[in-house]
Amino acid sequence: MSDRILIVEDEADLVKTLTYNFGREGFQVTAAITGQEALAAAAGATPDIILLDLQLPDMPGTEVCRRLRADAKTKHVPIIMVTAKSDEIDRVVGFEVGADDYVTKPFSVRELLLRVRAVLRRARASEVVADTPAPSGAQVEHAILEIGKIRLDIDGHRAWVEGEPVRLTALEFKLLQTFLERQGRVQTRDHLLNDVWGIEADITTRTVDTHVKRLRDKLGRAGVYIETIRGVGYRFQLDADPG
């Protein structure tokens, strides 16, 4: 079955170009030129991935992203921000509201296609966990990282808490993996932005805090393993074992 892509862009020529190229690659393409059209289209037929411009005629793309993430039907749909804004703060805000990737204009259509394929692969690897039981050590050839109540299949991109599968986004999985691999060591927000998001930021941002909160919520009782170090960052530690 073809992947469904929703292109949210108000530049007619660019929509035409992207529609042609993604269609040629086998995608089912839907286009929207406003935020409201995008929300309606996503609600009608859930896309597999969304390309979202930040500057739309009726509302900011960040607001569209927030609403999509707040809707149970679209909260897990990968979103790539596509925008003329190239400042680091704009990229940070994009990740803060839940974007999975960020592409600035002008861009190579070929590169964009590759980025879309890569994000879809990561998203699908995360989805596999929903129906997969926790593996036993004797049955798994993948690299397994297990600390406390948490078990990660690094190669298979799967996670479990107390044997129950947990659905994580690509960023959440990478964040959790980073915490587990650096158990007991304090991770500053700047280090996490650089190592997990690939952003070298010398600015104030709540990107890390937002994603840590989401990750804690998904980990349930094991969320207490992620300790907040005031004024510094976070540390993964097992002292507060949930039992």
How do residues 35-89 score in pLDDT, each as one tens digit? 999 999 999 989 999 999 988 999 999 899 989 988 989 988 989 988 776 555 5
CATH 1.10.10.10 in the chain is located at 135-236
CATH 3.40.50.2300 in the chain is located at 4-126
Label the pairing between strands 226-229 and 28-32: unpaired
* pLDDT score of 170: 75
Answer yes or no: are the C-beta atoms of 201 and 94 closer than 8 Å: no
Q: Which two tokens stand for residue 6?
A: 């929703």
Q: Which CATH architecture has domain 4-126?
A: 3-Layer(aba) Sandwich (3.40)
Read off the pLDDT of residues 172-184 as tens digits, 9 standing for 90 and up. 888 999 999 999 8
Residues of the chain short of pLDDT 50, as ranges, are: 128-134, 136-141, 203
Dist CA 67 CA 104 (whole Å):
22
- The residue behind tokens 């929903």 is 130
Element (H, E) at 4: strand 4-8
For domain 135-236, the CATH class is: mainly alpha
